[in-house]
Amino acid sequence: MKIDALRIPPEGINLQEEFWPADMDLETQVISFRGPLKAEAAVEKITNAVSVMVHVVATAQSTCSRCLEEFEIAIDKNIALNYSSAREAPVIDINPDIREEIILDYPMKPLCRPDCKGLCSHCGKNLNKGGCNCATT
């Protein structure tokens, strides 16, 4: 999303845009996306400052590091950004800042749920789906 600091009306402006996560380099080895990222921004200019409140919504998916099942991660985040309007180039590209904020929330070790039981180290069964016979001995 790009904001032209010279074209922000006194009452502010609301912008909406959809991004493809791959275009924003948001996909990693553990996080992927199936659809676009939706961003809504409320932009205001107060004297020499441009303040942007961005609401970002997307559905990411990951693979649980314990049971190896795929699961979804809902991204729903409010991001507050501030820029100086007294800059050389009046057009502000806010995507790098949005990207950074989203990536900050990525889990180091994704879990499908906090108490995921993982796989039996013996038979490989997913213990979230019931016990296996190995543990009874």
- Site residues (vs Zn ion, CB under 5 A): 64, 66-67, 112, 116, 120, 122-123, 132, 134
* β-bridge pairing 49-63 and 91-93: unpaired
- In the complex with Zn ion, the residue whose CB is nearer, 67 or 79, is 67
What tokens were used for 50?
A: 């441009």
**DSSP letters spanning 45-112:** EETTEEEEEEEEEEEEEEE-TTT--EEEEEEEEEEEEEEES-SSSSEEE-HHHHHHHHHHT--SS--S
- Alpha carbon 51 to chain centroid distance? 20
- Residue in this structure with the two tokens 């921004």, named with its chain if needed: 41
- In the complex with Zn ion, the residue whose CB is nearer, 88 or 115, is 115
| Residue 101 to residue 94: CA distance in whole angstroms | 11
Least separation, in Å, of the C-beta of 126 and Zn ion? Answer: 8
- In the complex with Zn ion, the residue whose CB is nearer, 46 or 134, is 134
Least separation, in Å, of the C-beta of 66 and Zn ion? Answer: 5
Least separation, in Å, of the C-beta of 9 and Zn ion? Answer: 49
Least separation, in Å, of the C-beta of 56 and Zn ion? Answer: 26
- In the complex with Zn ion, the residue whose CB is nearer, 53 or 120, is 120
Contact 44, 8 (CB under 8 A): yes
